[in-house]
Amino acid sequence: MANLKEVKERISSVQSTQQITKAMKMVSAAKLRRAQDKIVQMRPYSQKLTTILNNVSAASEGAADIVYASKREVNRVLLVPITSDKGLCGAFNSNIIKATNAAIKNQLQGKEIQLLPLGKKALEFARKSKYPVVSNFSGVFLDVAFDNVKGAAEYAMKAYESGEVDQVFLIYNEFKNVATQIIRTEQFLPMQTETTESEEKKAEVDYILEPSRAYIIEELVPTSLKIQFYKAVLESNASEHGARMTAMDKATENAGELLKELKLMYNRTRQAAITNEILEIVAGANALG
């Protein structure tokens, strides 16, 4: 049985860990509120912008003259895995790494792969891989702002436009709620311009384009793509704080259960030590008698 000093040291260590995990949970809860507000506000704007773009593209000439919608034979693919900068958020980062590996082995087998990691954990994974890595934009989560994220989006768009890559995928966690994040492997380029039945009815709206359709497409398409890219980063940011909050809450509960067991062990050890001392005293008294 462990001695009292060892058990007391373990109790003190677990109590310190519990205080840290509880503080981290509270910090993540505060950050989650702000991140959740951002993504809730961004979703309707992003969806409406995409709908307008699809409707305008469906009208008249279609999407043939949109460079980012042109499809070609896929030989080179750019993958953008989006993780966090820090750990202690459960399976949040490992799920993205697994999804990236799965996409490479299954969906993109035989293709030339290039990685553009966002987040330090994604950068660590990318550097360990055998694929070329674009590491210029890995620090976007130091300040999650549109101006900081659009640089990565512009790089992907230019790489596709120049023919350096034939396809671009975003791999990220979509925020559903605090306890649930959905892994998304989303095609970023070439952009999807197909419309559903409900969208086809909306596309019947007669748009008056001013000054011209070409100018609107030229301005609207890049903006829409950058917003879509930024939305994926916001989704991942909110998911990260939700995952960390859940993980730290569970860790705090586990620390509480462990403390109960350690305190019970401490009391039993202490009681056994006192009993042994009493027995020694009685034995000594009997010997003197």
From 39, 69, 78, 89, the catalytic residue: 89
The answer to whether the beta carbons of residues 1 and 269 sit under 8 Å apart is yes
> Cα–Cα distance between 61 and 56 in angstroms, integer?
9
Q: Give the residue among 193, 133, 171, 143 at the shortest CA–CA distance from 38.
A: 143
In this structure, are residues 174 and 235 in contact, taking their beta carbons and an 8 Å threshold? yes
Identify whether 89 is a catalytic site residue: yes
pLDDT at 228: 92
Using DSSP's 3-state secondary structure scheme, residue 32 falls into helix
Note whether 95 and 59 are within 8 A (CB). no
pLDDT at 240: 95
Regions of the chain short of the pLDDT cut 70: 1-2, 56-65, 193-207, 289
pLDDT at 230: 95
pLDDT tens for residues 234-261? 999 999 999 999 999 999 999 999 999 9
Rounded to the nearest 5 percent, the helix, strand and coil shares of the chain are: 65, 10, 25
- The identity of residue 5, as a single letter, is K
The ranges assigned to domains in the chain are: 22-247
Q: What is the pLDDT of residues 142-193, one digit of tens each?
A: 989 999 999 999 999 999 999 999 999 999 999 998 889 999 999 999 887 6
CATH fourth-level superfamily of 22-247: ATP synthase, F1 complex, gamma subunit (3.40.1380.10)
d(CA 233, CA 154): 14
Burial level of 220, CB count in 10 A (0-12/13-18/19+)?
middle
